[in-house]
Amino acid sequence: MVTNKEKIELLKTRTEEARQGGGPKRIQKQHERGKLTARERLDLLLDPGTFSEGGMFIVPQDTAFSKDARKFYGDGVVTGSGLVDGRRVYVFAQDFTVMGGSLGEKHAHKICRVMDKGIQTGSPIIGLIDSGGARIQEGLGHYGSIFFRNTLASGIVPQISIILGPCAGGAVYSPALSDFVFMVDGVSRMHITGPQVIKEVTGERVTPEELGGAKVHSTRSGVAHFATEGEKECLELAKTLLSYLPSNSNEPPPYKSTDDPIDRTEEALESLIPENPRKAYDMKTLIGLVMDDQIFFEVQEGFARNIIIGFARLNGYTVGVIANQPRVFAGCLDINASVKAARFIRFCDAFGIPIVNFVDCPGYLPGTQQEYEGIIRHGAKMLYAYCEATVPRISVVTRKIYGGAMSGMAVSKLVGTDVTAVLPSAEIAIMGPEGAANIIFREEIQKADDPEAVREEKIRLYREQFATPYVAAEKGWVDAIIEPKEIRPFLITSFERLRGKKEIRPKKKHGTIPL
């Protein structure tokens, strides 16, 4: 008869066996690739001693896949819950040392259970992804159950996907359905079809890194929101992101006390924006000077750099920041910028995060390429997102805004913006001075002895008489004209007045955003 002591010893033995994943040799191989194991990653992500694991002793059901399959507890994924900075999260970490972290029936069930509990308890869901894909015999159909839960969780709890190895084929769509994607340079790979298949079908030769590495997805495709040099840095960055986010859509974002005075003014803002409207400046400098402790947490920094998005705090409260970047395409809106901003606006709105816009935009990027690729359709996504949003929204025009971009950048209060402010040097008009002068004074310019001199004079005249913030204020387009150094106290005071804002919209199943 087996004694209780022997049973306890058996439990300890099997627990240690489960913790070893694919065993010491495969763990060593993982380390040789420059990668951490699933459990090492969870140790870095979660507060020490807080991880509670579920499904440790589940084994793969498909013995045909591997003659050793039943020896591996956990079925290639470690799942459970823990704390990040004292707040509960639900996590799954695919274990590449066990059958390459491949997805089978029980593997998928474990992930789905974690996602279900995240939704039920109102806790963020974090996936650490390192997988060779679906098992041929049993895995492929089970991705659908994960995608379904990604969609159920959307707008209820934040979803974060951290790619720490391969993620290919159907597996890529779960990260794509989540809110934020992290990648590590030289370690992460995401692609629908691999280099070999592409070579066979199209004849194109491409390396895995060129096809789906962190740099590609953080700068060209826009799939990744963050790219880092190492895994530890990546996990720390994910924890920083969580510090700005609420646990779910029914809770306010976390408050962080600050010694930064509410009434702090910044003299440096007085000279930041050049008097020459054609000269660029760095909008990130302005954002940093305004926010608590001069900290700005940028999102998707390398993609569509003509628009800036990210999180910051004002008087301790999280705000979402959207800003034109005059240093790239003069801050014009284009397809990628519109899609980037639209998704961020909808996230902030879903999770009750107020939005502040810093606006310096001459309009939409002109050209046949933009028109042919659908700037009308894609630009409408950003407009739709602003109009749909009900969180407090404030726009500050730092230098210029013309025409349709007044709605596109939510300067116009007609699209639901709560407060619009402009700086004294800002230009706000239906058309830019150059275009307006060419149309209004066309005949006069053409008949002049020196057309270029007359044109420049008419541009100056239009800028002084029609594009001034005072004309906009007289028409009721803006609520306030403020000094640059007063931006911070103005925003804090305005958001305080908007705290608790509620909007009642027509009841409907959902809108039809122009996807």
State which of 73-82, 270-279, 298-307 shows the largest mean pLDDT: 298-307
CA dist 514 to 221, 368, 370, 388, Å?
A: 20, 21, 17, 13
| Mean pLDDT value across the chain | 91
Which tokens go with 493? 């005071």
Which tokens go with 323? 């800003």
Q: Is pLDDT of 65 > 60?
A: no
**Per-residue confidence (pLDDT) for residue 253, from 0 to 100:** 95
State which of 130-139, 190-199, 293-302, 438-447 shows the largest mean pLDDT: 293-302
Average pLDDT estimate for 371-397 = 95
Average pLDDT estimate for 248-259 = 96
Q: Is pLDDT of 91 > 90?
A: yes
Tell me the catalytic residues: 169-170, 404-405
The residue type found at 454 is V
Average pLDDT estimate for 222-230 = 96
Q: Is pLDDT of 70 > 70?
A: no
Task: Please state at what angle helix 451-465 crosses helix 433-440, rounded to 10 degrees.
Answer: 120
Would you say domain 4-244 falls under CATH 1.10.1740.10? no
- Strands of 338-476, DSSP E: 355-361, 393-402, 419-422, 427-429
**Per-residue confidence (pLDDT) for residue 14, from 0 to 100:** 85
**Domain segments of the chain as ranges:** 4-244, 269-430+468-497, 433-466
Gap between the Cα atoms of 192 and 441, Å rounded: 55
Query: pLDDT band at 71, cuts 50/70/90?
Result: low
Two domains, one topology: 4-244 and 269-430+468-497 = yes
Using DSSP's 3-state secondary structure scheme, residue 230 falls into coil
Q: pLDDT per residue over 4-51, tens digit each?
A: 888 888 888 887 887 888 888 898 999 999 999 999 999 999 999 999
Nearest Cα residue to 393 out of 414, 416, 412: 416
Vertex 398 angle, CA 442 and 389, to 5°? 105
Residues 6 or more apart whose CB falls under 8 angstroms from that of 170 comprise 133, 134, 140, 143
Gap between the Cα atoms of 49 and 83, Å rounded: 9
Gap between the Cα atoms of 243 and 258, Å rounded: 14
Q: pLDDT per residue over 202-211, tens digit each?
A: 889 999 899 9
Backbone angles phi and psi of 406, in degrees to 5: -60, -35
**Per-residue confidence (pLDDT) for residue 69, from 0 to 100:** 47
Q: Is pLDDT of 340 > 50?
A: yes
**Per-residue confidence (pLDDT) for residue 62, from 0 to 100:** 60
The residue type found at 389 is A
Vertex 26 angle, CA 24 and 29, to 5°? 110
User: DSSP letter string over 137-191?
Assistant: TTTGGGHHHHHHHHHHHTTTS-EEEEE-SEEEGGGGHHHHHSSEEEEETTT-EEE
CATH match for 269-430+468-497 among 3.90.226.10, 1.10.20.10, 3.40.190.10, 3.40.430.10: 3.90.226.10
